[in-house]
Chain A
């Protein structure tokens, strides 16, 4: 009797959420795998033709997809580096004893709260108008021009805006890490005659390894999955030069109506993300130092 009552409570507490979760996440994931083996245009009346691994074979010859993969990798690598350098630098600045530190922290975090779609539109204007203006005034027109019209620089523009969005976010992670380093440790090193650069490299960096793990994980997965900023800032252009992975999948499915093939891409997308993030967490976890 008591046991039955216990099970009743258990079900009452967990089942509502688990049902919703199953309908929204688990079932679509499973049927998503199934769709990936078919040729289908998404119209219910039209036949779904089973093609086995054909979708995955075509994928390896799809130049647009391959170039989009390469662009995404390039974008992610550049972004991970720039977001983490900026975020760590900000964190070091705002954990100094300056009076402005708190205000600066508040301001630096601000962009993260504004959604990616809106950030993209804001920067579209900055590149279009302000960059050209600065170029004209300073004469540095080779640096300050509308990056969005240039196939190479449009990708850099994406990295730039993504960094602007995410730097304040990883800054918060690094601040927590820096505040966790005992002050005595830094003092002791100072007394032993270590310079500030040496203290940074030999003490701060190794003890920040857990913060690196988290920040790298966050920037890697956010970077690889970027969509909103991509859509509003460049829309994939000019000439598909910035059509990243997530956008390529969206266009394949909803733009060209290749539901089966697009879904095969989406499954590959999942596998790549899972592989990269799990490997990264494994590798950096190994390097963390015990305190």
Chain B
């Protein structure tokens, strides 16, 4: 009796999770259907798994180019964020003077500022810098990376700072006495100890930057600079919606996320948990 009840609970939980993800199933199966099939029954499996809508969607979205742009922006931004914010957080946490505290508190306070509050003045500033000094911040991928570093600095420094505070100082002092430079101490002793929080910082930033739409939409103008969210947006905007094409396009954008999730599932859930709790 108890076994049967447990089994039915197991099945019920699984079905509930499946129902929860049903919109993704719907998008997936309909990405193979012809228009007529689609209107006959949205929920049924397709008659054949042809890829013709995928190749059309890929072409219209310029998918490969957008994918490369997204990869480039995400990886380079996250690498800079990890290096710069861990170094900064270590100095702020260990120097213990009032300047460090003021800087740290200011950074935390800015986490309350919504993007919409600074987007217009930021765009004014960035276009101004580009025009007056020739430093190409506006309408370049490097400029977007530069802005990503600035926007995600506060959260990342905050996470590193909390973690560094929990490492006993004696570990560092032992290394410093040996006469290593600050740089050596940091990269050889400290940074390896920060690995768990580095994973968290990297994962949170990958998710935020990969999915970001508003900032890239303001700063990237050229068509061939588009990231994935931008190309999806213009794909839906430029054509009157042909749903089977659109669904192939949406499936394409979900695939990299699913692969990333399958590869790093454990770290992602742990990272999200820690990032949120702190």
Contact = CB atoms under 8 A, between A and B. Distances in A.
B213 A228 contact: yes
B87 A107 contact: no
Interface stretch (A51-59, A60-68, A124-132, A189-197): A124-132
Contacts of B56: none
B113 A118 contact: no
Interface in A191-238: 214, 218, 224-225, 227-228, 231-232
Contact of B42 (A23, A118, A129, A224): A129
Taking chain B's interface residues, is the majority helix, strand, or loop, or is none over half, making it mixed?
Answer: helix
Contact of B247 (A32, A104, A125, A232): A125
A130 B26 contact: yes
A17 B84 contact: yes
B20 interface: yes
A99 interface: yes
Contact of A263 (B107, B121, B182, B269): B121
Interface stretch (A142-150, A151-159, A170-178, A282-290): A170-178
A103 interface: yes
Contact of A9 (B92, B182, B246): B182
Contact of A232 (B157, B236, B260): B236
A157 B103 CA distance: 42
B91 interface: yes
A88 interface: no
Given A117-B211, A228-B213, A266 B116 contact: yes
B233 interface: yes
A125 B118 contact: no
B189 interface: no
A47 interface: no
B13 A21 contact: no
Interface in A6-55: 9-10, 12-14, 16-18, 20-21, 23-29, 31-32, 35, 42
**Interface size band for B:** 35 or more
B20 A107 contact: yes
Nearest to B266: A106
Interface of B: 6, 9-10, 13-14, 16-18, 20-21, 23-24, 26-27, 30, 38, 42-43, 84-85, 87-88, 90-92, 95, 103, 106-107, 110, 112-122, 124-125, 146-147, 149-151, 153-154, 157, 181-183, 186, 207, 210-214, 229, 232-233, 236, 243, 246-247, 250, 253-254, 257-258, 260-261, 265, 268-269, 272-273, 276-277
Interface of A: 9-10, 12-14, 16-18, 20-21, 23-29, 31-32, 35, 42, 93-94, 96, 98-101, 103-118, 121-123, 125-126, 129-130, 133, 164, 169, 172-173, 175-176, 214, 218, 224-225, 227-228, 231-232, 245-246, 249-250, 253-254, 259, 262-263, 266-267, 269-270, 273-274, 277-278
Given A13-B90, A28-B121, A111-B21, 11 more contacts: A9-B181, A24-B147, A25-B113, A31-B121, A121-B236, A121-B250, A126-B23, A175-B273, A262-B120, A270-B114, A270-B117
19 contacts: A10-B95, A13-B87, A13-B88, A13-B90, A14-B88, A18-B88, A20-B146, A29-B117, A29-B118, A101-B13, A107-B17, A110-B258, A114-B254, A116-B213, A172-B276, A246-B116, A266-B120, A270-B113, A273-B112
